[in-house]
Amino acid sequence: MNAANPSNRHDVRLEQVTKQFGSWTAVDNISLSIKGGEFFSLLGPSGCGKSTTLSMIGGFESPTAGAIYLDGEDVSRQQPYKRDVNTVFQSYALFPHLDIFENVAFGLRRKGLGKAEIDARVKEMLALVDLTGFAKRKPGQLSGGQAQRVALARALVNKPKLLLLDEPLGALDLKLRKQMQIELKRIQNEIGITFLFVTHDQEEAMAMSDRLAVMSKGKIEQVGTPAEVYDHPATEFV
């Protein structure tokens, strides 16, 4: 875990959370604690429930049963915009007509912040993701890795308690993925925000995580550090 500002660290807790879509149980009675400041991964194959779990933590889906806590507060029925949680998706969802500066500034302008604060925070984030000279470029002028970093800067500029990352490196080629794994871990170490990362890629989860949860068929098979999970698998699936 990182040694950044402890005030940035916010914990997440799931208690007996279930999510059903009709007769199908996507997430089946899971309990999980994520420490503030951790880089935590949900690892498992497609359909195991990891993205649904992320969606419930972000507020995009509501649990059928159980409770989700952020800093000890039950947020299970809270709207996404009230949770102080941001999400980075694989698609990035950048605004093609806005330059990079305005893409990153978008959320701050909606909050009505002053020009000086917006300028300072956007410049700080572009420096953090190593894109200082790219402020006036449009998304169409960026590589996949650069677009990923803009999406990351746009999410982090709002200073969320928790950053959710849903297979964010899936669209990148192998070399860029490796590069972005290093970048993501560096950025998380610098700012100290709790990261919850969803992936089906075992190597990716092992390389970046402080701890991870292995999921299968809506259940958690094992929680531990990468070394614990690798050296002492709890089940045959793991």
pLDDT per residue as tens digits for the range 185-203: 988 999 999 999 999 999 9
47 and 60 fall within a common domain: yes
49 and 147 fall within a common domain: no
Does residue 126 fall inside a structural domain?
A: yes
Q: What is the pLDDT of residue 8?
A: 52
Q: Is 70 helix (H, G, I), strand (E, B) or coil?
A: strand
150 and 169 fall within a common domain: no
Count of structural domains within the chain: 2
Domain boundary (159, 178, 198) is at 159
- The reported pTM is 0.89
Characterize 190-223 residue by residue with b for buried, 16 or more Cβ atoms within 10 angstroms of its Cβ, and e for exposed. ebbbbbbbbbbebebbbbbbbbbbbbbebbbbbb
Does residue 30 fall inside a structural domain?
A: yes
Does residue 36 fall inside a structural domain?
A: yes
Does residue 146 fall inside a structural domain?
A: yes
Domain boundary (112, 141, 159) is at 159
126 and 79 fall within a common domain: no
> Please, which residues bridge with residue 166 across strands?
89, 198
5 and 80 fall within a common domain: yes
Distance CA 194, CA 38 (A): 5
Does residue 171 fall inside a structural domain?
A: yes
Q: Residue 120 has which token pair?
A: 């300072």
Does residue 89 fall inside a structural domain?
A: no
pLDDT, tens digit, 9 for 90 and up, residues 85-115: 999 887 778 999 999 999 999 989 988 899 9
User: Domain of 101?
Assistant: 95-159
Does residue 37 fall inside a structural domain?
A: yes
Q: Which CATH number fits the domain that encloses residue 44?
A: 3.40.50.300
Does residue 210 fall inside a structural domain?
A: yes
Measured between alpha carbons, how far is residue 123 from residues 133, 175, 192 in Å? Answer: 10, 27, 19
Query: Under a CB-based contact definition with an 8 Å cutoff, are residues 19 and 57 in contact?
Result: no
63 and 174 fall within a common domain: yes
64 and 164 fall within a common domain: yes
Of the candidates 115, 92, 96, 97, the one whose C-alpha atom is nearest the C-alpha of residue 105 is: 115
183 and 118 fall within a common domain: no
Q: Sorting pLDDT into bands at 50, 70 and 90, what band is 9?
A: low
204 and 150 fall within a common domain: no
Q: From the CB of residue 176, how many other CB atoms can be counted at a distance below 10 Å? A: 17
Query: Under a CB-based contact definition with an 8 Å cutoff, are residues 110 and 54 in contact?
Result: no
Q: Is 66 helix (H, G, I), strand (E, B) or coil?
A: strand
Residue 54 dihedral angles phi and psi, to the nearest 5°: -60, -45
Measured between alpha carbons, how far is residue 91 from residues 61, 185, 218 in Å? Answer: 19, 20, 24
Across 28-41, average pLDDT: 96
